[in-house]
Amino acid sequence: MPLHRIYSNKGTFTAAEKHDIAKNIRKVYSVLPAFYVVVAFVDLDPDSFYVGNDAVNGKFVRIVTQHLARTNIGAKRTDYIVGLIQDAFKPYVQDRGLDWEIHIEEMEREGWRENGMIPPMPNTDAEKLWVKEDKPVEYDGAYFKE
Amino acid sequence: MPLHRIYSNKGTFTAAEKHDIAKNIRKVYSVLPAFYVVVAFVDLDPDSFYVGNDAVNGKFVRIVTQHLARTNIGAKRTDYIVGLIQDAFKPYVQDRGLDWEIHIEEMEREGWRENGMIPPMPNTDAEKLWVKEDKPVEYDGAYFKE
Amino acid sequence: MPLHRIYSNKGTFTAAEKHDIAKNIRKVYSVLPAFYVVVAFVDLDPDSFYVGNDAVNGKFVRIVTQHLARTNIGAKRTDYIVGLIQDAFKPYVQDRGLDWEIHIEEMEREGWRENGMIPPMPNTDAEKLWVKEDKPVEYDGAYFKE
């Protein structure tokens, strides 16, 4: 987490553009371990993606972002974050006149694991260690919600 | 939103059938702007889709529908809506003897944007404008949950 | 339900390995009707899957598991279940040195249907019938949350 699933027609983005978008999204979460930030482009066939009554024909991008509820962040913080995510796509979506839709889902962290480990709580020394190592490493005090 | 992800083996539906299904789904939400209604067919390889211990072999369709919690609609309304969605698939699924499963997820609207805009609240003049224009247009009184 | 979506690069798993993983996952839910357990491998192109700043290159697997809230199971039960799901992947992921991430989503059952029927409540005679028949069959007392 965060997990970004991007639904668009095959060919909407080049490989280089996808890589750029992924790097831009990673920057949105600069406080998190880089390996937390996952971006999956689900490339759909021309006959497999519709808005209203019409095939999308490469003109529409649907972004589904999942966060873990690190804290109850509130509407202003959500607005800020969704803006940053949209900026990550801007050169390849908005600036080309494509349409897009996004929503963010705040999921529970209880059943979340990285390489089998319970990720450390936000802003802990353990999380800082995961940022530094950029991989899941063992730490003291794994979190269980009782 | 509403977003419909339809998981089936490649070739389960023809292009014309997918388009028909998308048009049928759009009719379920006739009160909404047409461009809200998104349908993504995630076409899976023959070796990539299993029910229980067996490959699906084109005999099963899994529908994941996401709504935004416009209001707390209750069980009877949910039953009505899920029935309409299933009717949209009926000629291509039930009437052919395919198996299917659906569930509806009611998501928060807080992090939802259409072309960067916060969608208007249900049954407002602004929503009526979006229905008429069939695209996101600027309106007075964008909604923020405080 | 349960629904497992597995995001990985095409070719990360062979067809036989995918089938093995699906069978292993089915065993996690041995109390449920086999046909409840759905596994969809969403196979991504090499340029369509990123962790942090880098393409995954077949070295990472992202598992999204959805359950229906049968009961409020608590952290210890969640930990047990997520461990079993990870064990289902172990020979093909952990034992090969791949990285992986999983999270479990507990969804509402209200809009869930199997072949158009409201699934019976857990541990009822009707559920036992569905286990035995391994398909949705009509039963007395379909559940509506009022």
Q: Using an 8 Å Cβ cutoff, are C65 and C27 in contact?
A: no
Q: What is the sign, positive or negative, of the torsion defined by CA atoms of A116, A118, A123, A128?
A: negative
A72: pLDDT strictly greater than 80: no
- State in Å, rounded, how far the first CA of chain B is from the last one: 22
Burial category of B77 from C-beta neighbours within 10 Å (exposed 0-12, middle 13-18, buried 19 and up): exposed
Model confidence at A76, pLDDT cuts 50, 70, 90, reads confident
Percent of chain C predicted with pLDDT > 70? 94
Please give the pLDDT value at position C72: 64
Minimal Cα–Cα distance from A53 to chain C, Å? 24
Between CA C22 and CA C4 the distance in angstroms is 9
Q: Is A133 on the interface with C (CB under 8 A)?
A: no
Query: Which residues, in sequence order, are bridge partners of residue A63?
Result: A6, A102
Q: Could you report the per-residue pLDDT of C81-98, keeping only the tens digit for each?
A: 999 999 999 999 999 999
Higher-confidence residue of B86 and B76: namely B86
Mean pLDDT of C27-46: 97
pLDDT band at C75 (very low <50, low <70, confident <90, very high): confident
Closest alpha carbon within chain B to A74: B146
Asked if C71 contacts C78 with a C-beta cutoff of 8 angstroms, the reply is no
- Chain C residues touching residue A3 (CB < 8 angstroms): 62, 64, 103
Q: In which band, very low, low, confident or very high, does the pLDDT at C80 lie, cut at 50, 70 and 90?
A: very high
**pLDDT grade for A146, boundaries at 50, 70 and 90:** very low
Residue C117 makes CB contacts below 8 A (sequence gap 6+) with C136, C138, C142
With an 8 Å Cβ cutoff, are B18 and A50 in contact?
Answer: yes
Query: Which tokens go with A132?
Result: 């530094």
pLDDT beyond 50 at B40: yes
pLDDT at C76: 86
To the nearest whole Å, the CA of A138 is away from the closest chain B CA by 33
The model's pLDDT over B80-119, given as tens digits with 9 standing for 90+, comes to 999 999 999 999 999 999 999 999 999 989 899 999 999 9
Distance between CA atoms of residues B51 and C3, nearest Å? 10
> How would residue C73 be classed by pLDDT, with cut points 50, 70 and 90?
confident
ipTM of the complex: 0.95
Q: What is the pLDDT of residues A98-121, one digit of tens each?
A: 999 999 999 989 899 999 999 999
- Chain B touching partners, 3 or more CB pairs below 8 A: A, C
Q: How far apart are CA C26 and CA C31, in angstroms?
A: 10
- The pLDDT of residue C16 is above 50: yes
Nearest CA in chain C to A5: C49
Q: Is the pLDDT of residue C140 over 70?
A: yes
Q: How confident is the model at residue B146 (pLDDT cuts 50, 70, 90)?
A: very low
Q: Which residues of C touch A116 (CB under 8 A)?
A: 86, 94, 100
CA distance B140 to chain C (A): 34
Token pair in block for residue B5:
């992800």
On whether any CB of chain B is under 8 Å from the CB of A99, the answer is yes
**pLDDT score of C101:** 98
pLDDT value of residue A61:
98
State whether A110 and C52 contact (CB < 8 Å). Answer: no
Subunits with 3+ Cβ pairs within 8 Å of C are A, B
Percent share of chain B, pLDDT over 90? 84
Write C134-138 long-range contacts (CB < 8 A, 24+).
C134/B52, C134/C33, C134/C34, C134/C35, C135/B99, C135/C33, C135/C35, C136/C35
- Categorize the per-residue pLDDT at B77 as very low, low, confident or very high, splitting at 50, 70 and 90: confident
pLDDT at B76: 86
For residue B136, pLDDT over 70 is answered with: yes
The neighbour count for residue C138, using CB atoms within 10 Å, is 8
Rounded mean pLDDT of chain C?
Answer: 93
- What phi and psi, each to the nearest 5 degrees, are found at residue A75? -70, -35
Q: Which helix (H) or strand (E) holds C113?
A: strand C113-114
pLDDT at A142 over 70: no
Give one DSSP letter per residue of A70-87, joined into a string: SS--HHHHHHHHHHHHHH
What is the interface size between A and B, counted as CB pairs within 8 Å? 94
C-beta of residue C105 within 8 angstroms of C-beta of residue A107: yes
Tell me if C87 sits within 8 A of C27, measured CB to CB. no
Q: Which of B37, B41, B111 minimises the CB distance to A48?
A: B41
CB pair distance less than 8 Å for C50 and A18: yes
- What residue ranges in chain B does DSSP mark as E strands? 3-9, 38-44, 49-51, 54-55, 60-68, 99-107, 113-114
* B143: confidence class by pLDDT, cuts 50, 70, 90: low
Percent of chain A residues past pLDDT 70, beyond the cut: 95
| Cβ-proximal residues to B128 (8 Å cutoff; 6+ apart), any chain | none
Half-sphere exposure for B59 (CA within 13 Å, toward CB): 9
A76 in C contact zone (CB under 8 Å): no
